[in-house]
Structures are given as structure tokens and as C-alpha cells.
Amino acid sequence: MPAFSALLNGYRRFRAGPYIDQRTRFDALAHGGQSPRVMVVACADSRVDPTRIFDSAPGEMFVMRNVANLVPPYEADGATHGSSAAIEFAVTQLEVDHIVVMGHARCGGISASLTGKFDEAAEGHGAFIGRWMAKIEPARDRIRAAAALSPDIDAQEALELAAIRLSLDNLMTFPFVAERVEAGRLALQGAHFDIADGVLRVLDPVTGRFEEVAFDWSAAA
Ligand SMILES: [Zn+2]
């Protein structure tokens, strides 16, 4: 298994390098517990690791990753909801100040939604993906219809952005999120990252548009 042995080699580099370099930080996190101020909801896609994109240190960011960085709506139905459990933990136990929903370009989950690839999939052949991505079906159908009328619409990107907006709306259906947002104790942010050019865009609550984050090349190493 060459891939797993590569992982173990990575572990050895980490143990001999960053783990020693940040010994004080790891000691504090081990004995004092974690108190990240930010939760990030990101896609499971291997190209969009939020701790790399935001250059954050261990202990700074509580991360939930799933297919297409979706936040499901609040459902008090007694069923198991892994994503909702992570949100509940971050908000009610860690009391984070921010939740960032970060989508990304070329998202496979969004692409599958647009093509309908897993809409009728059988168990073991994509049914879990199909049911998960059904959460954005209304937005998908709207964007498909708009793209059919205007071929210049980039349906992939439009649905990536729409899914981020929907996830932010869904966050507000959780009573413990809504009450903190309304009290000014929690802020929700949308963002979209493109690995092709490294550009991060952030949803501006005033304009309602995703605006590119200013970046100064002269500050680059
Ligand atoms: Zn993705």
C-alpha cells in the first residue's frame, strides 16, 4: 500500500518537525483543551483544506467537511444528523464567534447535482450522494432553467454560490444559531475558493455579492 506508507512518512516528518516546533502550543491544547473561535464548513474535496487556505494553526479552527459543504436544515426528528451534531457542538459547547461556509470551484458534488448523475442511484451506487445533494434540488432546478434560457450563465459556479447561500439560510433554522446571531454573539459568513487561481471570494452582506478578497502581491513571501 504505497499510499498508506506515504501517510506514515508524512507523520514522521510532522513528528520530527512541526510537532517539535509547536511543542508549547500542543502542550497547551492537550492540557487546556480547545477553544477555537471559528467554525469552517468545507467540502471533503482533497484540494480545499481550510487550515491551509486560511493558514491557521492547530486549535484555531473547528472544521466540518462533507460533500459540497452543505449545512442541512434543522430537523428535530430523532434521526442521526452528523453535520448538525458538529454545528451544535461548535455553537453551544465551544461558543464559536464565526461560522464560515466555504464552497469551492469545480465541486464534484455540485457537478453531480447539475447533471443529475445520482438522482435515481441505487444503494451502493451513489444513493447516499443523491439523497444528500437533493437538499439543493430547488436551487439546482432554478439554475438549470436559467442556464437553458441564457447559455452564458456558468451553471456550475452559480450553483456553488447558491448552495453557500442556502447553507447560510439553513444555519439560521437552528434555534441556537439564530438566537446568537440575533444577539450579536455569532456571525455567519459565506466564502468561495478557486484552487485554479487561488482567489477567495467572500459574500458581502450589504451588496449580497461574492467579492474577491484584496491581496497584496508585495506582501507575498
Ligand atoms: Zn466539493
pLDDT in tens, 160-200: 999 999 999 999 999 999 999 999 999 999 999 999 999 99
Closest CA to 171 of 101, 81, 117: 101
Residues 25 and 109 in one domain: no
pLDDT tens, residue by residue, 68-100: 999 999 999 999 999 999 999 999 999 999 999
Q: Give distance in angstroms: CA of 153 to centre of ligand 1.
A: 20
User: Sorting pLDDT into bands at 50, 70 and 90, what band is 1?
Assistant: low
Q: Residue 213 Cα, ligand 1 centroid: separation in angstroms? A: 20
Quick one: pLDDT at residue 184? 98
Structural domains in the chain (count): 2
Structural domain boundaries enclosing 14: 1-33
Q: Rounded to the nearest 10 degrees, how much is the dihedral formed by the CA atoms of 76, 80, 81, 85? A: 90
pLDDT per residue as tens digits for the range 100-138: 999 999 999 999 999 999 999 999 999 999 999 999 999
Q: How confident is the model at residue 65 (pLDDT cuts 50, 70, 90)?
A: very high
Q: According to the 3-state scheme, what is the secondary structure of the chain?
A: CHHHHHHHHHHHHHHHCHHHHCHHHHHHHHHHCCCCCEEEEEECCCCCCHHHHCCCCCCCEEEEEEHHHCCCCCCCCCCCCHHHHHHHHHHHHCCCCEEEEEEECCCHHHHHHHHCCCCCCCCCCCHHHHHHHHHHHHHHHHHHHHHHHCCCCCHHHHHHHHHHHHHHHHHCCCHHHHHHHHCCCCEEEEEEEECCCCEEEEECCCCCCEEECCCCHHHCC
Q: What confidence category does residue 221 fall into, taking pLDDT thresholds of 50, 70 and 90? A: low
* Pair (65, 77) in one structural domain: yes
Residues 61 and 144 in one domain: yes
Average pLDDT over the chain, rounded to whole? 96
The cell numbers describing 32, all together, are 487546556
| Same-domain pairing of 63 and 79 | yes
Q: CA 174 to CA 99: how far, in whole Å?
A: 13
Against a cut of 0.85, is the pTM above it?
yes
Domain match, 81 and 11 both = no
Residues 11 and 69 in one domain: no
Q: How far is the CA of 19 from the centre of ligand 1 (A)?
A: 29
CA distance 133 to 154: 19
pLDDT band at residue 217 under the 50/70/90 scheme: confident
d(CA 114, CA 137): 9
Do 205 and 191 share a domain, yes or no?
yes
Report whether 74 contacts 176 (CB < 8 A): no
Going by pLDDT thresholds of 50, 70 and 90, the confidence category of residue 215 is: confident
Whole-number Å distance, alpha carbon 93 to ligand 1 midpoint, is 28
> Which three three-digit cell numbers place residue 21?
516546533
Q: Are residues 40 and 27 part of one domain?
A: no
Same domain, 39 and 28: no
Least confident span in 96-105, 109-118, 139-148, 211-220: 211-220
Judge if 20 and 95 occupy the same domain.
no
Instruction: Tell whether the model's pLDDT for residue 220 goes beyond 90.
Output: no
Least confident of 1-10, 11-20, 46-55, 139-148: 1-10
CATH code for the domain in which residue 111 is found: 3.40.1050.10
In the predicted structure, residue 216 carries a pLDDT above the cut 90 = no
Q: What is the per-residue pLDDT for 37? A: 98
pLDDT at residue 218 above 90? no
Q: State in Å: Cα 106 to ligand 1 middle.
A: 7
For ligand 1, the distance from its centroid to the CA atom of residue 136, given in whole angstroms, is 14
Same domain, 108 and 211: yes
Rounded distance between C-alpha atoms, residue 95 and residue 87, angstroms = 10
216/127 Cα distance (integer angstroms): 45
Residues 6 and 108 in one domain: no
Ligand 1 centre from 117 Cα, in Å? 15
